Amino acid sequence: MKTILLTGILLLACAVPATQAQQAPATPNATPPAAPTAADSAAPDAPQPWTLAPFTATYEAWYKGKRAGDATLQVVHREGNQWRLDLEIRGERGVASLLRLNIQQSTVFDVTDTGAGILLRPLSQSTVRKAVFGDKQQTGSYDWRSNTAQWEGKVDKDRRAPVPLKAGDMSSLLLDLAIMRDAKPGAALDYRVVDNGRARQYQYAVAPQTEIVQVGELSYDAMRVARTNGGDREQIFWVASGVPTPVRMLQRDDGEDAIDLRLIDYQGVQ
């Protein structure tokens, strides 16, 4: 499987070059309340203002239509305005199970209310990939005093030099939260992602109308957010009001489903 950049989650689902995770995500201590269903009301809920709060979400991971394992996404408040976003992907079925594939990624970031909106600024990033064919590690630091970011560990030679930073730059994992923050019907989203020694532009379009999305036994009235500059690789998120993370994330290659992450439960800190 190849390195993928869908958002913080989908880019990792196949197997990015890895790095030492700052802290492995924890699994939920209890089964959370059922997510809202489309049948709960006749009319769609009005979008709720986005706020950052701790949560743990668990996804089923599918690859080319077959169950491959599970993924856990967790947001943790550290201290002051610093937070940490953790992702763990466990290959427990099929080829991923045979490879004993396990991927962990963390991003430490700070949060600033600029008055015009909430700014998410990455401070450090780390990833570790463990598999039967060998482990890979990688760490990155974002120095906002010098406005440069740099990676160490298992990094291609042409990506070891400092990368210039611009205001608003994201890490790949933070892209998940940014989409949750910014998605509104009909909106056009544009992000510059600096990760793994390079900078890339990601543009998305939010559908003007919500649609019903079936995820397991639950139905959500969700906004469809699709990447518009990905070429033959489609990246689609479905964002539902009241749910802190996308209810589904899909990557399609050449018109066929490749990676598919489906939310099965989530738990917020009350």
Reading the chain (270 residues) residue by residue, the pLDDT tens digits are 333 334 444 443 333 333 333 333 333 344 444 444 443 433 345 556 788 999 999 999 888 888 888 999 999 999 999 999 999 988 765 555 545 578 899 999 999 998 888 999 999 999 998 766 667 889 999 999 999 999 999 899 999 999 999 999 999 999 999 999 999 999 999 999 999 999 999 999 999 999 999 988 889 999 999 999 988 889 999 999 999 999 999 998 888 888 899 999 999 865
Q: What are phi and psi of 36, to 5 degrees?
A: -60, 145
Domains defined along the chain, listed by start: 38-268 (2.50.20)
Helix (H, G, I), strand (E, B) or coil at 25: coil
Distance CA(226)–CA(204), nearest Å, equals 5
The answer to whether residues 14 and 235 touch, using CB atoms and an 8 Å cutoff, is no
Distances (CA, A) of 269 to 20, 22, 76: 27, 21, 10
Distance CA(44)–CA(51), nearest Å, equals 20
The answer to whether residues 90 and 60 touch, using CB atoms and an 8 Å cutoff, is no
Distance CA(173)–CA(103), nearest Å, equals 13
Q: Nearest 5 degrees, angle CA 192-CA 194-CA 197?
A: 145
Distance CA(182)–CA(180), nearest Å, equals 6
